[in-house]
Amino acid sequence: MELKGIDRYSKFTYRLWILLLLLLVAGSFMNFFDFFIIGFINTFITKPWNINVGDAAWLILASGFGLVVGGFAAGKFMDSHGRKILLILNVAIYSVFSIFSAFVPTGNWQLLAVFRFFLGIGVGGSFAVVFPYIAEFAPAARRGLLIGLVVIGTPVGTLLASLSSAFLEPSIGYRGLLLEGGIPLLLIPLLYFFTYESPRWLISQGRIEESRSVISKVYAIPKDSVQINTDEFPSFNKKPKWKELFKYPRPLTTTWIINFTLQSVSYNFTIWGPAILVFVLGVSKHDASYLFIFVSLSGLSGRVLMDLLLDKIGRRLSGIITSLGAVIFLVLAGIFHSVLIGSVSLFYVLAVVSYFFLDANWPVLTVVGSESWPQEIRGNGWGSGYGFGAFGKIAGTIVLALLIGVGVTISPKPDLAGILPVFLFFGLMIFIAFLVFLFIAPDYKGKTLESIEKEQVEAL
């Protein structure tokens, strides 16, 4: 394929790698440390704060509601005002409210829930912007790899939360863990000076000279040799309109439905995971944090493997393999949750394996969700899908709270009849994602964003 537009200039340079690293840390790694740390905090504050499962569910729901607001708002904002300023704003939001959370008086879980809501807005907004952002810089042949590298930061954030809870909490306490979530404020100067506005977004706004300057800096090309032919960009001078999303049923269905199903499972598996390990295995909260380290490592390895395969085997096949594997092992974990092989819990082994496939879905979803939309609504397309998917977090949290028992204090329980239906629910959600990957999801492996957009426009 003859490359046109920005893709004729795009290549790997040290500035592109710096941009990628900053997006990974600020938009995927540290924000999800802040987001998932509440799953561990819940196990530490349950007794001194007298928190039951219902209270804990509200703490988790609060950040889920924040994600809905953050995802939808980010989609609208980034298509109108750009990617860079939105990322910086949301990093400041989630960092500040993590710090605020550390000073909530003991027992006042309602105020903590309010702060978690605003933290969720920042996390949702930053996660919504990073994938369209890097997609618009990445060379077409390696777009899947680079987007997938950014999403790898999420389980790294979960892993950091596990490690911090297991090894730092005894010395710094849960308030110290929350203060740790304010560290990304130090990234803001780096984001301001070492990231660049998307050249494709600049072109869509008619800001051609600025786009040429960015292309020159990022790809180490003399500015005089950068030529922009606006005829090659279908979205040139088009204004973003939210209703345009509904003209594109395949990316809409794929982005919204898979986001909903995957978030309903992935989020609740992760956020409730330490408490579920306490329930099922009867271990201490610190032992649960330690055991969850291996769950996080499993998810990380799944994402890395799928990231390496995305540009080779394509998006649709990747999604089919990962979702089907997750369905099988989630259901098996529920069925065998009380089985021991010697002294080893079969539930724990199956949970670790299922998390491998479950987390491997994320590189597939973020690539498809950020490359399948026309330029003028790319932010709205992915942001609204991620925001809609956050309703899945909320629905899943409610289901888990009802099945496990709303009035139950988080402590070891020998009889958990709710675990089987919880994991059957997880399996059903991911089976829906499997059907979407199988019958609906598009596959744009190796195509430029402009050729994808032209193909979509011609199909209308």
pLDDT digits (tens, 9 = 90+) for 306-343: 999 999 999 999 999 999 999 999 999 989 887 888 77
**pTM score of the predicted model:** 0.87
163 vs 444, which has greater pLDDT?
Answer: 444
Whole-number Å distance between alpha carbons of 136 and 58: 37
CATH of the domain at 172: 1.20.1250.20
Whole-number Å distance between alpha carbons of 198 and 177: 34
Arithmetic mean of pLDDT, 352-358: 95
Could you tell me which residues come within 8 angstroms of residue 127 by beta carbon, excluding any fewer than 6 positions away? 27, 28, 31, 32, 70, 71, 386
Look at phi and psi of residue 108 and say left if phi exceeds 0, alpha if psi is from -120 to 50, else beta: beta
Decide: 403 and 420 in contact? Cβ < 8 Å: no
Range with the poorest average pLDDT among 57-61, 145-149, 299-303, 384-388? 57-61
Q: What is the pLDDT of residues 404-458, one digit of tens each?
A: 764 433 443 434 667 888 899 999 999 999 999 999 999 999 999 999 988 887 7
- pLDDT of 100 > 80? The answer is yes
Q: What is the pLDDT of residues 192-215, one digit of tens each?
A: 999 999 999 999 999 999 999 999
* Main-chain dihedrals φ then ψ at residue 298, nearest 5 degrees: -65, -45
- pLDDT of 216 > 90? The answer is yes
DSSP 104: P
- Structural domain tally of the chain? 1
CA distances from 194 to 187, 295, 300, 367 (A): 10, 34, 27, 24
Residue 291 pLDDT class (50, 70, 90 cuts): confident
Q: What is the pLDDT of residue 16?
A: 95
Residue 31 pLDDT class (50, 70, 90 cuts): confident
Look at phi and psi of residue 206 and say left if phi exceeds 0, alpha if psi is from -120 to 50, else beta: left
Q: What is the pLDDT of residue 325?
A: 97
Segments forming the whole domain that contains residue 305: 5-459
Whole-number Å distance between alpha carbons of 384 and 30: 22
- Cite the beta strand spans of 275-352 per DSSP E: 340-341, 344-345
Residue 409, beta-bridge partner list: 52
Q: What is the pLDDT of residue 417?
A: 66
Arithmetic mean of pLDDT, 92-114: 94
Residue 269 pLDDT class (50, 70, 90 cuts): confident
189 vs 241, which has greater pLDDT?
Answer: 189
